[in-house]
Amino acid sequence: MRIRIKRAALGIAFAAVGAAAWGAGQAEQRWKVHDMKRPRPQVITPGTFSSAEKAGMPPSDAIVLLGNDKEDLTGNFTGGKWIFDNGIYMPNGGSVDTKEEFGDCQLHVEWAEPTPATGTSQGRGNSGILFFGIYEVQVLDSYKDETYADGQCGAIYGQYPPLVNVNRPPGEFQTYDIVFRAPLFDDQKHVTRPGRFTVFQNGVVIQDSVQLTGTTAHGHEPRYDYFKPTGKIQIQDHGNKVRYRQIWIRKLGPEVGVANPSGD
């Protein structure tokens, strides 16, 4: 069953239905200001930043899907035939998906565009990170090469161009840090909470909590199709030799909404 949502209605749907769907579960978790009984966040060890030359380290609570060393973790992926060589993972026939399914999450991905660069527009270093296989954060060589804005590197494909073009030259490793909130549906398969993306590329925010208007797709207006709240994460093989290293993920709990609505 295909569900259409008008962009203007999304905010209302989120406010009304989202409050019912999520707020009900969160209402009992409201706390008085400075309540000493309020649970403290889990303590974790931070990671270190990656650069074009050197991969960083994931935070202590991350699930490492692909390392930056010689340890072969490609068993975390399934599907297409990819090449693993000395910590680098590269498409060689078909997209790959994580074996595990994830819902709301923070995902870190590092990749380098082919060098020397060949092709242009959508044929230049095309790959992508597709949550549930249907919501794509575009990977493309957009360094001194142009394509349509909502399809360049960092775009939510077909929906939102990135805020800036912060691409490094081909051959240099780049990073994505993506916060994904999955679309949620009710029993009638109506959207109760549109999906959202926040994306940092090379440490710079390029998508600021943008609201998905549906499945990302080429050549037609997006629309929502029902999907369960978890799914596999796909790395796209678009026929270009984009190299990947270090991919890690952190699962996120439900959103907590307004912490102290009364302000007291």
Q: Minimum Å distance from CB 184 to Mg ion?
A: 25
User: 141 or 192, CB closer to Mg ion?
Assistant: 141
Q: Minimum Å distance from CB 217 to Mg ion?
A: 11
User: 59 or 79, CB closer to Mg ion?
Assistant: 79
Cβ partners under 8 Å of residue 100, min gap 6: 63, 76, 232
Tokens of 77: 């992926």
Q: Minimum Å distance from CB 256 to Mg ion?
A: 33
Q: Minimum Å distance from CB 122 to Mg ion?
A: 8
User: 120 or 260, CB closer to Mg ion?
Assistant: 120
User: 159 or 236, CB closer to Mg ion?
Assistant: 236
What residues make contact with Mg ion under the rule CB under 5 A? 126, 128, 236
Instruction: For residue 102, give the 3-state DSSP assignment.
Output: strand
User: 62 or 129, CB closer to Mg ion?
Assistant: 129
- Rounded-to-integer distance, Cα 88 and Cα 263, Å: 50
Q: Minimum Å distance from CB 137 to Mg ion?
A: 9
Beta-bridge mates of residue 108: 177, 248
Tokens of 123: 């044929």
For Mg ion, the nearest residue by Cβ is 128
Q: Minimum Å distance from CB 236 to Mg ion?
A: 5
Say how many Å lie between the first and final Cα of the chain, rounded: 45
Cβ partners under 8 Å of residue 164, min gap 6: 204, 206
- Rounded-to-integer distance, Cα 140 and Cα 127, Å: 6
Cβ partners under 8 Å of residue 172, min gap 6: 52, 53, 112
Beta-bridge mates of residue 177: 108, 200
Tokens of 136: 């794509």
User: 5 or 112, CB closer to Mg ion?
Assistant: 112
